[in-house]
Structure 1
């Protein structure tokens, strides 16, 4: 009986995991320090795809002169084979401690990096094993977190290394955008390849541009280029010297025309899910702008070019605000799948009632059965997500905060971790997709998401009955931690490493335990519903 029950749960999970929801499509929101409630610079990302969500903290080290480091393809965890070495580059004399995930996101100096793949024209794409490009964005993010303290430093290092060793597209062989933040600044960087046949002898192996986000603004990355005209005389822009060269070579831009060079219009594909015309992109832009600037009338079908690079939110943004956006079901917009008319069924006196199965996240089979068109929510098929806070007025170990969540944010919860944390519980770093186990935090969160979604109208209420009190407790406890940390600072004492680790273990293990309890509740509910 135990074996059959386990197999039944795995069947449920796999049906949800491989339900045909488009993957490999992350969303990032960054907020400058004058636009946040507490004055921190905020960064965030939903890692939307079947990615490595094991959270590990990799310690910094001192390296002898002449040391090299391997660079890999396959670090995302979405490949059937383990990562393979593509080459080696010189190692830095010193590397910093960083938080490792598929797209590694944070380091001990409060540097945070989020990622969102963007489209690039086919002529720019690179492929592993063809040509000489060896640096994927996930490898570049790791190198930057190991070697950099500031956002601008990270942008320049990523750009310079990609030019030297070649940028290799790993997600659909496309380009990439990064949100890069530190306690003072926020930047958006976009990087593309120079073609499958690039070799180190043929010139720079990447083109890239970056733009600083104003301190009182927020900006959004959602799988489309957000930078158009580069003001080369403005220090708020950074760029590779040859960023126009592929466009001139391929006849996409004529310098003699006198027309300004538009990065997005020149290099982005004209059609497809990664293009500026995609509703898959525009729906997210619409919802987030509508949420953070509600007084303005935003056309849900407006073109991508109608949205600004960045904007001033109408009220100061908090961590909870971004969590709310990440949990969005696109409610209040034409893109909500839960509000599709097909979900309404005759009740007593033939009044139309919403089906208890109505969900904002229907799988492909359900959508095809009920003829519900797919509309991408903010977070879809998420492996993990994070929200970071970098605070300039505090020492880095306690100034940096990483709010980390497993699985789809709508069903999950966020755990606060300080930059000074050096170890996480084993249960948060032992997920194996072939071996279901409630001893793994990620398997537990996946199971809860699947069960709650299968009977959504009731399941989400059951989940929230335990999750919401947990989150309130987490936020209260976090305020207590801040008070404890301030006491250390007043006494001019260094906060012990174990203090950070104890807080992390306490919260991560508590969340795991509560989600096991939620899973048992949802299983009992599902059994009763099926029996009756």
Structure 2
């Protein structure tokens, strides 16, 4: 049965096993203020516990095997179903989250693609490709070679996937999909972003036409075009082949819930482009979004953080404007996203900032610094809008306790866990958003501003220590991340206590600590009057019958 567009979207969003609602921003060296490459990632799932994955590198004996476990069944390394094993590499590299010790970064969003290709034969799923790639590659090109060769040799085991891959010099998008039931291998294309540009993807394949005789800027599987032709996905000359159109045809859901997030990133970073909203509204004849744009101004790490904080503010999709936002302009809609009234289907917007984010990050890979100093992952948990990003070096010897695997889990609340502490503050903030978010952002910006301001001195200190002994630099950077995280955790708990004190029982304490009772915004009061005014309207009392004894 062929699903209608909204029904198809509902099916995709209901597939809770995968990170099927993530967002990536990719920034090349020439598009950043300091010459770093940057990747952002929001890992969104209603059952994902946010923590900082960490695995030490090492040397391995001949004959050692590496287990491949299904990433989606646990979201924590080696907690899923055993899919098989592969020969271990002689040398593996330490990885901190989605960055390894060589400043290589790999992130993803799932686009699904054609249903008949979503059940390929193999043991390497997308999560395993990411983390094995980080363990075995030093550069983006090496990562592409590792990931694609693994999929070819051992078979791909996931739906269609878009990968963001960056080293200190190059930024690539790799898109991959399987060949269908019983067929091993994968179909893929990788495209290097032109220097000075940014790109993004958000659960929809984005590579269309690509250079087919320019291996410096585009790589692809030898079967990607012939396979599409033999299965009727593409007709025409090879030069006109589009990976996205062949393997992930657009639906209303792909436009409105996925490409709309890319549009919002682009319209904020490059407003001069005047990219029309018509495309993501599925207006017939609208021009597709470009794969990449040149930002109006070069971006720094704070810009990248703020771009990941987005509810379509200032557009007709603005989630603070309709009645669903309530009296305090809450830009969130509880799931399911789709609903039906009187036989008509409707769909809430899906913004970049969303309540179900497990973790997110902004990475910096800096070519002018040695790897232990140059690679920084600015890490946060929960909603991108309410989180606070902490700088963590790719050279740390262990993760800060609040983010470490084993500190907490999704099954029970734990004040030692950053995930639960930040969720506590965010979920309380949702109850009176327009007022409380001001208090949250005050602390958020205080800490992020300090971290960014301190980074130059941290770099100098770490670089001096590195010249003496790389181990000293690693120890310093480990302690620095731990200290910042401890301070942030303590402050965020105090923030939660402050919010309950200030907004207890619908009261609002003023600057003097006095309890006040400000009215709800007038536009919300008008909604109440329109819906219930006849019942609650104050009337003049006259002509009542006297009490009878």
Q: TM-score range by the shorter chain?
A: 0.7 to 0.9
- The answer (yes or no) to whether the contact 1:66–1:91 under 8 Å persists in 2 is yes
| Distance in 2 separating the partners of 1:232 and 1:343 | 48
- The answer (yes or no) to whether the contact 1:124–1:192 under 8 Å persists in 2 is yes
1:46–1:493: structure 2 CA closer, same or farther, 3 Å change rule?
Answer: closer
| Distance in 2 separating the partners of 1:463 and 1:440 | 19
Aligned to 1:109: 102
Deviation larger for 278-287 or 213-222: 278-287
How much is the aligned-residue C-alpha RMSD, in angstroms? 2.8
**Pairing 1:261-300 to 2, within 5 Å after superposition:** 261-271=241-251, 273=253, 275=254, 278-300=255-277
| Distance in 2 separating the partners of 1:123 and 1:490 | 55
Report the CA distance between 1:486 and its aligned residue.
4.0
- The answer (yes or no) to whether the contact 1:190–1:225 under 8 Å persists in 2 is yes
1:250–1:368: structure 2 CA closer, same or farther, 3 Å change rule?
Answer: closer
Deviation larger for 491-500 or 463-472: 491-500
| Distance in 2 separating the partners of 1:249 and 1:141 | 30
**Pairing 1:147-162 to 2, within 5 Å after superposition:** 147-162=136-151
**Pairing 1:450-465 to 2, within 5 Å after superposition:** 450-465=427-442
Gaps of 5+ in 1: 1-17, 200-204, 345-354
1:254–1:394: structure 2 CA closer, same or farther, 3 Å change rule?
Answer: same
Aligned to 2:205: 225
1:48 aligns with 2:44: yes
Aligned to 1:212: 192
**Pairing 1:352-371 to 2, within 5 Å after superposition:** 355=327, 357-364=328-335
Aligned to 1:89: 86
Runs of 4+ in structure 1 deviating by more than 4 angstroms, as ranges, are: 341-344, 364-373, 489-494
| Distance in 1 separating the partners of 2:340 and 2:116 | 39
Q: How many residues align?
A: 480
Q: Which residue of 212, 227, 233 maps to 1:252?
A: 233
**Pairing 1:350-499 to 2, within 5 Å after superposition:** 355=327, 357-364=328-335, 374-380=348-354, 381-429=356-404, 430-488=407-465, 495-499=472-476
Given the two structures, how large is their TM-score scaled by the length of structure 2?
0.82
**Pairing 1:168-179 to 2, within 5 Å after superposition:** 168-169=157-158, 174-179=159-164
Report the CA distance between 1:82 and its aligned residue.
4.1
1:141 aligns with 2:130: yes
1:23–1:452: structure 2 CA closer, same or farther, 3 Å change rule?
Answer: farther
- The answer (yes or no) to whether the contact 1:27–1:379 under 8 Å persists in 2 is no
1:229–1:373: structure 2 CA closer, same or farther, 3 Å change rule?
Answer: closer
- The answer (yes or no) to whether the contact 1:279–1:301 under 8 Å persists in 2 is no
Given the two structures, how large is their TM-score scaled by the length of structure 1?
0.84
| Distance in 2 separating the partners of 1:33 and 1:69 | 34
Report the CA distance between 1:244 and its aligned residue.
2.1
Report the CA distance between 1:165 and its aligned residue.
1.2
| Distance in 2 separating the partners of 1:449 and 1:145 | 32
Report the CA distance between 1:265 and its aligned residue.
1.1
* Secondary structure in structure 1 of the residue aligned to 2:182: coil
- The answer (yes or no) to whether the contact 1:335–1:376 under 8 Å persists in 2 is no
Report the CA distance between 1:42 and its aligned residue.
0.9
- The answer (yes or no) to whether the contact 1:287–1:333 under 8 Å persists in 2 is no
Aligned to 2:537: none
